[in-house]
Amino acid sequence: MPLQGIRVVDLSRYAPGPYCTMLLADLGADVIMIEEPPGRGRRVDTEMGVSDRTKAFLPMGRNKRSVALDLKDERMREVFFRLVDGADVVTEGFRPGVAKRLGVDYEAVQRRNPRAIYCSISGYGQDGPHADLVGHDLNYVSLAGTLGMIGWPGQPPAIPMNVLGDFAGGGLFAAFAILAAVVARQRTGKGQYIDMSMTDGVMSLACLAASDYWSTGNPPRPGSYYLNGGLPCYNVYETADEKWLSIACMEPWFWKKLCVVLGCEQYADEQFNEDRFEEMFAFLRRELKKKTRDEWFAELKDQDICVTPVYGLEEALADPHTRARGMVAELEHPEHGTIQQIGVAPKFSDTPGSVRTPAPRPGEHTEEVLLEIGFSPEEIASLAAGKKA
């Protein structure tokens, strides 16, 4: 696989960091999660009532190994550094300053392994006026200006799922940055520190909207920007069965084909004429209510028109295209039988990634990994018992 031979020591706990290292693990990296020993510390999933069956389906721990270490314990912290000695990457998702208080910050890791790449994933970054704020995805997309562009005029912002901040702005950007640092190390021979702010990531995702604002002086507002509902040719329309159809005929040639099919050729050259937007919206809303969503899709999809049904997640997962692309993977769980997971998105011709193992139990691979890095069975037993060897 593409990342075979890359070892990642993962200190992160919540969605962004584990998603980042899941992407690396899917492509073959040996990801070792450092988790608190059972019975110690706070487990948010337990406190929030997440069942064991739900945990079995969670993808973020797949293809990884788990080592249980209490980093507040000096002897177990030394085990962490033994792992760091042979690691390519260390990731963490603590609030700024926590890794340093635990003694596992970048400077400490660099002293042991100058080739290690260390990535900190946080809400607002390691510096700046908001660095110490607590937050979640909703806060990051709000501060980055993205939430303020989503929705309809006169209505509250439409809260998106946590794909923008946690998974794209945080986890995906972090994985991209880590691999860029791996490439740089081939040239310099040195590791480096990556400060990955989810808010920065979301703001980068909004680069087109920002450039339009700077060039025109008009900030995008909900439902009025050309990519968020302001154009009749790029919008969603309710159908006869109270479902929705997405039309994205931004290019004139796609729009003209739609106008021909719908019998409104008078609008074919008026695509961006704001004076006619109101009547075009009214026509499309009225016309597309005459058939069901799936009837419209069946009629329009093969006519070189940018159209798709607006699916619920259950429909998207069942769609034949999703299945054909391998985006639903199945694997066996030792307790819950066959489970489904989202598949691996990038398709490699020669070194494909794969979904191989479900998330491990906390500490499941402690003995296995410690034996690999030179601990004796007696030392491992002593650590588990909390005694000095």
Active site (catalytic) residues: 136, 166
Token readout for 31 is 């990801």
* Residue 316: partners with Cβ closer than 8 Å, 6 or more residues away: 322
Burial degree of 49 (CB within 10 A; 0-12, 13-18, 19+): exposed
* Residue 326: partners with Cβ closer than 8 Å, 6 or more residues away: 343, 344, 347
- Say how far apart CA 267 and CA 271 lie, in whole Å: 7
- Say how far apart CA 274 and CA 161 lie, in whole Å: 32
Q: Is 318 left (phi over 0), alpha (psi -120 to 50) or beta?
A: alpha
Please, are residues 298 and 239 in contact by the beta-carbon 8 Å criterion?
A: no
Angle at 308 between CA 304 and CA 313, to 5 degrees: 155
Q: Let me know how long the chain is.
A: 389
